[in-house]
Structure 1
C-alpha cells in the first residue's frame, strides 16, 4: 500500500527518475546485444515517477509526484515519451497539499487513466482518478460505498476504454479495518466492485489489507495481488462475473526459519494461461532470511518456479513484465546494494542478466505488446534498442 506515511519515507531516496527501454529480439539477443542511450526526464531533480505504461517505444506515460515548496507540498506529475523526448503534461492536484499518482494505464493517444490518492490538511485521504482525453488530464469521480472511507488507489489497468480497473485499499467501517479496494470503469462511471476481504493460509483466516499489483488480460480475466500476505501469496481473479481468491502454494520454512510473509509486488501476463507473480518471501526474526518469489499460472494452477542460481540473484523482486511465453523479465536489487538486477525467462528457466551501470535503483518494469520493455527508476534514464 502507498499511504502518505509510506511515501514520505521515500522522498529523500527518490529525487529523480530513470527509464530503460529495451526492444528484445530473442532471449539471447536481449541479454547480450542490447545497447543503451540516456534519455533524462524533465526536471528530474524535483520529482519521483511511480509508474509507467507504454503502448510502444514511442508512446509511454509515466506518472508520480512533484515535490514543491521545499517538499511541504506534494503534487501530481505526468510525463509523456514520444520516442524522442519527454514532455511534462499538467495534471490536477485537487487538495494542493498531498496529491499522488501511483499508477497509470495507457489505452490510446486519446485515452489514459491515472490512479492514486489525495490527502487534505486535516489528514483525511481519498481516492484520486484522472483521465487523459488526448488534450488534457482531468479528475473523475470514483465509486463510493456506504462503509468506505480513507481510500487509496495503488494500481490501474485497462483492456479497453470501457474496461478499466483500479485497486488499492480503504477503511471499511463494517469490519473496523483496512481491506482491499477494487473499482471498475465501464466507459461511463466508476463503481466499487465487491471482492473477498479475507483468505486462508495454513488453516488460518486472514484479512486482505490492500492490493498493490494488477494485470488485465480481457474483460473476463483480471488479476490483483497483495504485498501483505502471510505464508502464501494473496491473489484474486475476476472471471467476468465475480472476484474470487485463487489458492497459491504454501510456504512454511525458509533456510530453516519459519516463513513470516509472502509478498507479491508485481504481476504480468501474455494470456489467460501465462501469468507471472513476483515478490519476496521473508522469514521471522531480526535478521530474517529473504528469498525471491517466482510463481506462474498456467491456466489451471499456480506453481513455484525456480530462481536463478548464483550470488548475484536478488533476494526479492519488485516487478515483472512479459512479452511472450518465452520472453519475460523480472526486476530486483543486487544483494546488499541498491543497484538493479534483471532476470530473464526464456520459456525454460530464469537467468540473471547484466544491466548498464546506474547510479540509482530501478523499481518497475512494464511492457508494450510484443516489442518494448521499459524499466522505471531514479537518477538516470536510458533508451535501448537492438539494431
Structure 2
C-alpha cells in the first residue's frame, strides 16, 4: 500500500494443508497426532504450541480434513469462468487450476505480481510468479525448486524478492536463490520482506530450533551481496510477521511474543535506529487478552500502523495500533469475529486499508480519517494469504484460495 504495503505483503500464509513437497518448511506443516479410533490419519494441532498457534493449527487441521475428502491433483489451467464480483471486489482469472497464491505486490494499476505454487501431482508443487498487465494475469516465471514463497517485495520489474523456505531474487530475466545467514536460534523461516530505494532488503520471521512453539524472532538484511543476521533484544519465544522500512535508520518489525505457561501472548514491536534493534512497548492488553501483529506499514516517522488480532475468552477479533512518533496507542476496530488482520498499507489515493481473515472469514477495514476510526468495507470473499494496495492510484489486491473447493487459487481486486 503506498511504498509500504507492496513491499510488505507479509502476512504469513496459513495453508489449508501441508505443501506437497518433502522439503516444505515447517510453516506449512499441519501437526499430525496419533490416530485415534475412528479418526485414523486426521490432523491434530500441536498441544505444545502457543494459544494463537494452537488455534491456527486447529483451523488448518479442520480445513485439511475437509479438502482431503475429495483430494485430487490437477495442475493444468482450467477453462476460465466468468469473474465473480463481491461488493466491489472482482475476481481476476489466474492461470493456475489448483494450488495457492501466497503474496501479492503492486507498482501501479497495470503492474502487479503474485507468487505461490501450482500442484503438479499429489506429491509435488511448482513455485511460480504471476504478472498482472492491467488486463490479465500470466505466468511470468518459475521460482527455484522448494522455495515455497511466503512473502513478496517489488521495487521494480527487474528487482523482486520472494522469501519462504529460501530467499530468491528476480532480476527481470531469472530467479536466483540466496541463502539466508545461519541463526543460532535455529532454521530461519521468513514471514515478510521489504526493499529500499537503494536496492537493499530486509526480511523478518522466526528461527525455529525444533518446533514453531520454540521459535524466536529473527531479522536479516541484504547488503547487495549477502544476507546478514541482525542481533535482536532477547524477548523470549516468538516471531515477527511484518516489516516496514522508512530509511536505513528507521525500520520497524512487528509480531508476537508467545505466551508463557498460564500467561498471555503479547504483541511485539521492534525498531532499528541504524545502529541496533530495540523493543518498543506495545499497547498494554487487558488481563486474559492475547494479542499479536500480522502486518505493519509506515508512511512517515510519526505515522506507523500495525495490525493483527486479539483473543479474549476464546473470541477473536481485529486489533490495530498506531505510532505517532512518541508512543504506540491501540485504536478501536469493528468487532469482526475471527477477523484477524494480516496486512496494512496506504494506497496512492491516500486511503489506508487493513485486510485479513481466518479460514473462510475474510475482512477488509478502511480508515476514516475524518472520524478517526476504522470502518468495515466489503469483504474480499477469499481465504486471504496476502494483500497489497496500489501506489500511483487507488485500489486493493487480495490473493489466496477460494472459500469453497479444493485449493483453487484466487486473485481479487477492489477498484480505486
Where on the TM-score scale, by shorter chain, does this alignment land: which range? 0.7 to 0.9
RMSD: 3.0
CA offset digits 1:144-181 (Å, max 9, x no partner): 34x354221121111124320011222469xx953222
Structure 2 gap ranges (5+): 1-11, 14-23, 31-59, 68-72, 76-86, 259-263, 403-409
User: Aligned pairs, how many?
Assistant: 329
Provide TM-score, normalisation by structure 1: 0.76
Inter-CA distance 318–58: structure 2 relative to 1 (3 Å threshold): same
1:185 pairs with 2:185 = no
1:314: how far off?
5.7
In the other structure, the counterpart of 1:222 is 251
**Per the alignment, in what secondary structure is the counterpart of residue 211 of structure 1?**
strand
The residue that corresponds to 2:181 in the other structure is 143
Cα distance in 2 for residues equivalent to 1:180 and 1:151: 9
Deviations 1:115-167 (A, max 9, x none): 111xxxxxxxxxx111110111121232234x354221121111124320011
Measure the CA separation in 1 of the matches of 2:398 and 2:276. 32
What is the match of residue 351 of structure 2? 327
Is 1:350 the counterpart of 2:374? The answer is: yes
Shift of 1:248: 1.0
Deviation at 1:366, TM superposition (A): 1.5
Give the Cα–Cα distance (whole angstroms) in 1 for the partners of residues 117 and 332 of structure 2.
36
Q: Secondary structure at the match of 2:240?
A: coil
Residue of structure 2 equivalent to 1:38 = 91
For residues 204-250 of structure 1, the C-alpha deviation after alignment (integer angstroms, 9 at most, x for no partner) is xxx14321211222222211111444453101011122111110111
State the partner residue of 1:377. 400
Matched residues in 2 for 1:48 and 1:345: separation? 29
The residue that corresponds to 2:406 in the other structure is: none
- Counterpart-to-counterpart distance in 2, 1:343 and 1:214: 20
Structure with bigger strand share is: 1
Corresponding residue for residue 362 of structure 2: 340
What TM-score does the superposition give when structure 2 sets the normalisation length?
A: 0.71
1:63 to 89, 92, 115: 115
Deviations 1:304-344 (A, max 9, x none): 111236xx57643232222379621122449xx82422211
Contact preservation (8 Å) 2:112, 2:131: yes
Task: Name 2:384's counterpart in structure 1.
Answer: 362
Q: Is contact 1:270-1:324 (8 Å) kept?
A: no
Q: How far does residue 63 in structure 1 lie from its aligned partner after superposition?
A: 1.4
**d(CA) in 2 for partners of 1:133 and 1:215?**
22
Separation of aligned partners in 2, 1:116 and 1:236: 21
Which residue of structure 2 aligns with residue 234 of structure 1?
268
Give the match for residue 160 of structure 2.
112
Query: What residue in structure 1 maps to residue 46 of structure 2?
Result: none
d(CA) in 1 for partners of 2:167, 2:278: 25
